[in-house]
Amino acid sequence: MELNLLALCYLFGSISFIVGLKMLSNPASARKGNLFAAAGMTIAILGTIFLYEEDGVKLGNYGWIFGGLILGSVVGTLMAKRVQMTSMPEMVSLFNGMGGACAALISIIEFRHLVKGNPTEAISEIGSFSGLDQTKLLIILLGLIIGAVSFAGSMIAWGKLNGKIKDFSFKGQHIANLLLFAITILLAADIIIARPGETPLFFYLIIFFSVLYGVFFVLPIGGADMPVVISLLNSFTGVAAACGGFLYSNKVMLTGGILVGAAGTLLTILMCKAMNRSLKNVLIGSFGSGANTGQGSAAMVGSYKEISLSDAAVVMGYANKVMIVPGYGLAVAQAQHVCHELEKTLEARGVEVKYAIHPVAGRMPGHMNVLLAEADVSYDKLLEMEVANEEFKTADVVLILGANDVVNPAAKSDPASPIYGMPILEVEEAKHVIVNKRSMKPGYAGIENQLFFQPKTSMLFGDAKKALQDLLTEIRNI
């Protein structure tokens, strides 16, 4: 009876993941979908703790189990509540890295079980390796390698996103990375099919080389590619978790891992498509790294012009249609709520207001969508790139808030530019473009933006939040 009840817990958990993921596709139901999936996971965890048994023996060590659950819940809740929207990408990377570390630890523990059947005996003391279950060994090694790479890579991504780690590359680094990966795979193959007597040493070496590969795998990748990298690492963690589910014959863990792995892979493909780049080009090209800064872009000709707050208020206040393009600068300034106030004020004057969202704007997939959802901006007003590009042709004003690389015309006109070929928001199609930035410094990709020097473009310098507040006051006084 308990076994059937546990199976029902796992079934409900698996279904909750699928339904919750579906609900996440709509902002109106996303919060409920997240809570529903979390409820399914909670039931699956409690079912495992109290109902799982093997050879008539149930789990013990409840103090350690619930101690870890409580500690993790408290720390995770506090971190999530205190995190700023600008730091959300770092938190995603950090949490994803913890998932990869857990998957790797599972493989380490299960390897100890497999080689001797005695979890308390040190690997270095094991002398007999005959009769190893090669299928389980394969899954263990896959979980170890993928989990370790995901953990190390996510930690480097976390450091790069918060500015503590800089892009780093050296001549021949991509070849070195391939060698590290090849050595790791060869060691794993040797354990499985060749010399099981050397398993302990090779197993430790696999851990070392996997972590090293994860570090060097992410280090050279430029900032503009970080959304793609985060998505890819997320898929790695899902696959590693699925390996753990296979080892334990745990249906809910297997389902969750497969969903995360598949969703992460699909999102990675979509992100690459949005940037008009192959995944290979992302991983090898180092687009947006310091090495590429300023290279390949045509020299800027002419000068930019500034616009006063009063003039910007008049242009926007008497427009028929205004398009807002949010970027990372909006997130840095925490200006999403003021932006929503500006939207409502303009609409009260009869101005049509819509938002143009580029798939890779910000520092993680969907960063701008999450940012604007926090300010209760209607999802119907968030236009995807293809739709927005058609709308720009009928817009009187485009207000760009902290976006840079995703509106750079060099992607279409300058074959020498590192971003050439990347689909962009074609804001230059509008009658007038107002760009809010702190300064004329290049964006995250490290290249100049030709848009800023075009005749129809005006620069509105300053912090996005203060600029929008002042602009809002000016419009209300018209």
Q: Please, which pLDDT band fits residue 410 given cuts at 50, 70 and 90?
A: confident
Residues 375, 401: Cα–Cα separation, whole Å? 15
Structural element, H or E, at residue 434: strand 432-437
How high is the pLDDT of residue 116?
65
Tell me: pLDDT of 186 over 70.
yes
Q: Which residues contact 441 (CB under 8 A, 6 or more apart)?
A: none
- Residue among 99, 37, 450, 467 at smallest CA distance from 264: 99
Angle at CA of residue 434, ends 326 and 439, nearest 5° = 80
- Residue 124's pLDDT band, with cuts at 50, 70 and 90, is very low
Q: What is the pLDDT of residue 442?
A: 66
Task: Spell out the domain ranges in the chain.
Answer: 1-82, 86-290, 309-476
Binned at pLDDT 50, 70 and 90, residue 120 comes out as very low
Tell me the pLDDT tens digit for each residue of 99-108.
999 999 999 9
CA pair distance 239, 153, nearest whole angstrom: 15
Phi-psi region of 163 (alpha: psi -120 to 50; beta: other; left: phi over 0): left
Residue 55, SS3?
Answer: coil
pLDDT digits (tens, 9 = 90+) for 247-285: 888 889 999 999 999 999 998 888 787 776 677 766 665
Q: Give one DSSP letter per residue of 237-299, joined into a string.
A: HHHHHHHHHHHHT-HHHHHHHHHHHHHHHHHHHHHHHHTT--HHHHHHH-TTSGGGTT-SPPP
Stretch 348-365: mean pLDDT: 88
Averaged pLDDT for residues 24-42: 88
Considering only CA atoms, which of 411, 413, 445 is closest in space to residue 425?
411
The residue with greater pLDDT, 206 or 132, is 206
Question: Which pLDDT belongs to residue 439?
Answer: 77
Range name among 20-24, 164-168, 441-445 with the lowest pLDDT average: 441-445
Q: How far is CA 174 from the centre of its chain?
A: 23
Give pLDDT, residue 254: 93
Q: How far apart are CA 197 and CA 192, in angstroms?
A: 11
Averaged over 134-159, what is the pLDDT? 92
Token pair for 48:
């495992």
- Res 403 pLDDT > 50: yes
C-alpha gyration radius of the chain:
26
Domain 309-476 in this protein, CATH class: alpha beta
Residue 293 above 60 pLDDT?
Answer: no
Tell me: pLDDT of 39 over 90. Answer: yes
* Assessment of whether the complete model's pTM goes beyond 0.85: no
58 bridge partner residues: 53
Residues with a known catalytic role: 405
Check: CB of residue 144 under 8 Å from CB of residue 207: yes
Please give the pLDDT value at position 282: 66
Residue of 385, 457, 450, 388 whose CA lies nearest to 413 = 450
User: Is 292 a residue whose pLDDT tops 50?
Assistant: no
Q: Which residue has the higher pLDDT, 207 or 166?
A: 207
